[in-house]
Amino acid sequence: MRPSPTRVWGLPLVPLSRSEAAEAVAALIDANQPAYFITANAHYAMVSHGDPSLRAINEDAAFLLADGAPLVWASRWRRAPLPERVAGSDLIYDLCAQAAARGDRVFFLGGPPGVAQIAADRLQERNPGLIVAGVACPPFRPLSDSEQADLIAQIRDARPALLFVAFGQPKGERWIRQHLEELGVPACVQVGASFEFVAGCVRRAPRWVQRIGMEWAWRIGTDPVRLGPRYARNAAFLLRMVLSDLRRGPGPEPVSRVPNTPSQMAEAGSTTPA
């Protein structure tokens, strides 16, 4: 039985280790019902905090994993601390190894042109027997209704057990939730820059940098123009959350009401996910 979530800055994060997370994904696949899970970092916590529609998406997810050292550190202020960071960029390797062993079909969707195919090829080389059900890289522009329908049909017809989506956060989470029933995939997840890491297009921080929770600083150094402003906003959000934790004191975080009807969403000033 999956443990109850630990709420950190509004996110219901399950206290699972990396190996336990892979087992939880296998359980989703075995259940064979359309489902998704989320790997959440500090940036995702920030965008969720001010967006009731995203909070509803989080509550509907099978589970959320802490893909960010600050979330793990903050959980130690709660009564049920998270055991470790479970990075999506690490988990993709575990899940593909598990899929190869189990015979689960995997679909790779999104990322820059050609990158998903390189990532799929490398993961197949690393895990002989991995069944790549399909690879698709739609354009970054908004898709027409017919293009969207064709893409969903392509994925559905490929019958994957596991769908990796690289559309960026929170676009990927919104897209998965919006099309979940049409896709019919039992385990979907938005994986951020994981395809680029696997393909070797972007270099990850050394392990010692990851272990001390400074991968964000490494990433700023690799792309300061694009990532600098984002991480500056993240830092401001983290400071506000830490101060809020200190004022509230140790213990469980209060659960805020999540709007789940159109009228409630309108009251909260939210819009339906695109």
Q: What is the pTM of this model?
A: 0.84
The first and second tokens of residue 165, run together, are 């989506």
Above 90 in pLDDT, residue 180? yes
pLDDT at position 183 is 98
Indicate the pairing of strand 63-66 with strand 37-40.
parallel
Above 50 in pLDDT, residue 272? no
Looking at the chain, the whole-number percentage of residues with pLDDT higher than 70 is: 81
> Residues 137-168: pLDDT tens digits?
999 888 999 999 999 999 999 999 999 999 99
Please state the rounded mean pLDDT for residues 237-249: 78
Closest Cα to residue 35, out of 57, 5, 12, 67? 57
Cβ atoms 39, 91 nearer than 8 A: yes
The set of residues, in sequence order, having a beta carbon less than 8 Å from that of 169 and lying 6+ positions away, is: 41, 43, 44, 47, 190, 192
The first and second tokens of residue 159, run together, are 């019958």
Q: What are the φ/ψ torsions at residue 168 (nearest 5 degrees)?
A: 90, 155
Looking at the chain, the whole-number percentage of residues with pLDDT higher than 90 is: 64
- The angle formed by the CA atoms of residues 188, 170 and 10, to the nearest 5 degrees, is 95
- Model confidence at 266, in pLDDT bands (50, 70, 90)? very low
The set of residues, in sequence order, having a beta carbon less than 8 Å from that of 274 and lying 6+ positions away, is: 174, 178
Lowest-confidence segment of 72-81, 104-113, 132-141, 226-235 by average pLDDT: 226-235
The first and second tokens of residue 27, run together, are 């359980």
- The angle formed by the CA atoms of residues 93, 95 and 100, to the nearest 5 degrees, is 95
Q: What gap in Å lies between CA 46 and CA 129, rounded to an integer?
A: 39
Cβ atoms 38, 44 nearer than 8 A: yes
Above 70 in pLDDT, residue 221? no
- Model confidence at 258, in pLDDT bands (50, 70, 90)? low
Highest-pLDDT range among 31-45, 203-217, 235-249: 31-45
Please state the rounded mean pLDDT for residues 33-54: 94
* Mean pLDDT taken over the chain: 86
Higher pLDDT, 270 or 10: 10
Above 60 in pLDDT, residue 118? yes
pLDDT at position 243 is 83
> Residues 53-68: pLDDT tens digits?
999 999 999 999 999 8
> Residues 208-217: pLDDT tens digits?
556 655 565 5
| Torsional class of 155: left (φ above 0), alpha (ψ -120 to 50), beta (otherwise) | alpha
pLDDT at position 192 is 87
